[in-house]
Amino acid sequence: MNTARRIAASLAPAGRGQCGTALVICMLLLLVLSLVGIAGLVTATLELRMAANAQYRERAFQAAEYAIEQAMSATDLGTAQTVLSPKRVPASGPPPAVPGSSTDTYSYRLYYDTAAGPTPIPGGHAGQGTNLMAYHFIVEAAGFSAKGASDTHVQGFYLLGPADPSAITTRLDCPTAADDCRGFSSPERHRTYWLQTNAE
């Protein structure tokens, strides 16, 4: 009889103190997995935002470079464009858009660097004679993109012109010699320095 009771006791289910342990363990595992999943989702979202912000900063950088190219290719450069009365684009209103983009815009200030003044070119330059001077200009360009991204660059450059500064006009595109159009000897721009003013 005693043997039969022992066998029956060993086959009986576990005591009430152990009921629900498996459920609690499963709930804890689900909680941990949920937290891991949420952390992964937050990390992925932050990484996407960081990648988008980096892209907007790069687009603003390129917009500022585009502004420099636009300023340097202007045909109305002259020594009358000083730091107090520079050429501004835009002169008023919103900044122009970069071609092919609906979100990227640019602006710039261009002026003659009176502090540098015209500097002589010793021995001529590229066979253009000895009475040439280098006239230095500065472009302060800004590029803008989405999410408030912006970048500012400064580009220095010079053009060659006659030794007499009074001979400089604002025309570089003299179509014929008959036009009394004295100006820079060559439309070629020579870059001198470049600066990114808000670099990290």
Give the DSSP letter string of 77-104.
--TT--SSS-EEESSSSSPPBPTT-SS-
By percentage, how much of the chain surpasses pLDDT 90? 49
| 27 falls within a domain | no
Q: What's the predicted TM-score (pTM) here? A: 0.70
| 173 falls within a domain | yes
> How many structural domains are present in the chain?
1
Task: Tell me how far apart the alpha carbons of residues 126 and 129 are, in angstroms, rounded to a whole number.
Answer: 8
Nearest to 132 by CA among 64, 185, 191, 94: 185
Nearest to 87 by CA among 103, 105, 62, 70: 70
| 101 falls within a domain | yes
DSSP string, 109-120: EEEE-TTT--EE
Least confident of 57-66, 125-134, 158-167: 125-134
Q: Whole domain around residue 95: which residue ranges?
A: 46-196
Six token digits for residue 127: 């066979």
Q: Are 110 and 86 in contact (CB under 8 A)?
A: yes
| 40 falls within a domain | no
The DSSP H or E segment spanning 179 is none
| 19 falls within a domain | no
| 119 falls within a domain | yes
| 69 falls within a domain | yes
The DSSP H or E segment spanning 106 is strand 105-112
Segment 71-105, tens digit of pLDDT: 998 888 888 888 999 999 999 999 999 999 989 99
> Rounded to 5 degrees, what angle do the CA atoms 106, 111, 78 make?
115
Residues 6+ apart with CB under 8 A from 191: 155, 156, 157
Segment 163-200, tens digit of pLDDT: 766 656 544 444 444 343 446 656 688 899 998 887 55
Task: Tell me how far apart the alpha carbons of residues 29 and 150 are, in angstroms, rounded to a whole number.
Answer: 47
Segment 17-43, tens digit of pLDDT: 566 888 889 999 999 999 999 999 999
Nearest to 185 by CA among 197, 167, 166: 167
Pairing of strands 87-89, 132-144: unpaired
